[in-house]
Amino acid sequence: MHLFHVYVWPLLGILAGNSAKGSGISGTNGYVEYFPGTADSKVIITASHGGYLEPISIPDRTKGCLSGAACIWTHTCGSMNSQCTAKTLRDTKTKELATELTAALGTQTGKRPHLIVNHLNRRKLDPNRDTEEAAFNVSAAVTAYNEYHKFITDARAHITGAGLLLDIHGQSHPEKWIELGYLISKSRLNTDDLKPTLSSIRSLYNRHSTSMNFDALLRGTNSFGGLLSSHGYKVVPSPGNMSPGSGNFYSGGYTVKTYGSRYGDSIDAIQIESPYALRTSERATYVAALTAVVKDFLKLYY
Ligand SMILES: *[C@@H]1O[C@H](CO)[C@@H](O)[C@H](O)[C@H]1NC(C)=O
Ligand SMILES: [Zn+2]
């Protein structure tokens, strides 16, 4: 058994051509998983909303109760309130997108990113929320939540100096654009009220502020959005779509807030919200473009 795990399992992974899958560290019950990157990688990729597992032992996240202006997120809080409805929709194929991006970066650069995956369906656990809303005080879900975040903390500890976390999500907004979340809100983008101190790439700005202003880092030609739009994609923010205007836009959630550089440290974070087609029928082309963009971005700033 021991020999099988140490020698045969990684080998099977390599033979299957799936280098991101050879060496996963599973959390309890296999609900979350960590694929450590190569020692010199500066990139962490996370996928919280693409899981499929629906163990019946974990009741579905439905609604919490309202207490003043806040929600109590448990199954035993009393009368559920629709103002406290949990978001439970899966981000279709984001686990696959994150896994394929990790593998392509590993193959092309020799530096495989750290990958953290939640295998539970979002109805059971949402790791991109604080622990109460994420797990509804269900013990097995709380354990998976803590392990998911411990894995991110472990991955961060492997990176010395500047690093980049990409949190992979999906949305179905009618604009069909790629939304990049830096914790800069739609209204701030719309009014050009851009504050690096609020952003999840605060450290990136601090490192390069002598040569680039924050606006250019956020939505200029050499921003992540600028590089991605040069592959033919519609991206906000980017030179072609500087702000969402009246369109739909996610500016980033718990993961980029917690693990990006807004509150210090030197690991930056970007939430990538991709439209449906890019996660499904057009995923192969999209992964190739994203891989090229991440490589360019790393060369420019890390
Ligand atoms: C969470 O669950 C435990 C039992 O597992 C219980 O003792 C505790 O009161 C619960 N917390 C809340 C806020 O409901
Ligand atoms: Zn999501």
Average pLDDT, the chain: 93
Instruction: Tokens for 248, please give them.
Output: 């739909």
Surrounding residues of ion ligand 2, Cβ less than 5 A:
49, 91, 169
Residue 106 inside a domain? The answer is no
pLDDT digits (tens, 9 = 90+) for 214-265: 999 999 999 999 999 999 999 999 999 999 999 999 999 999 999 999 998 9
Residue 267's domain comprises 163-302
Q: Are 129 and 148 contained in the same domain?
A: yes
Q: Are 3 and 152 contained in the same domain?
A: yes
Distance 75 CA to ligand 1 centre (A): 10
Protein residue with its CA nearest to atom 6 in ligand 1: 137
Cis, bond preceding 174 (omega within 30 deg of 0): no
Question: In terms of Cα–Cα distance, which of 62, 84, 87, 85 is closest to 75?
Answer: 62
Q: Are 152 and 7 contained in the same domain?
A: yes
Tell me the pLDDT band of 167, cut-offs 50, 70 and 90. very high
Amino acid (one-letter) located at 12: L
Question: For ligand 1, what atom is nearest to the CA of residue 132?
Answer: 13
Q: Are 177 and 258 contained in the same domain?
A: yes
Output the pTM of the full model. Answer: 0.92
Alpha-carbon distance of 219 to 235, in angstroms, equals 10
CB distance 97 to 287 below 8 Å? yes
Q: Are 258 and 119 contained in the same domain?
A: no
Best of 65, 72, 74 for a ligand 1 pocket test (most atoms within 8 Å of beta carbon): 74
Query: What's the Cα-to-Cα distance from 192 to each of 157, 159, 228, 229, 261, rounded to whole Å?
Result: 35, 33, 21, 20, 21
CB distance 155 to 114 below 8 Å? yes
| Domains in the chain, number | 2
- Stretch 181-200: mean pLDDT, rounded? 98
Question: Which ligand is closest in space to the CA of residue 67?
Answer: 1
Residue 107 inside a domain? The answer is no
Instruction: Tokens for 166, please give them.
Output: 């990409």
Q: Are 180 and 240 contained in the same domain?
A: yes
What contacts 153, CB < 8 A, 6 or more positions away? none
Residues comprising the chain, all counted: 302
Q: Are 124 and 185 contained in the same domain?
A: no
Q: Are 223 and 124 contained in the same domain?
A: no
Question: In terms of Cα–Cα distance, which of 94, 22, 19, 18 is closest to 51?
Answer: 94
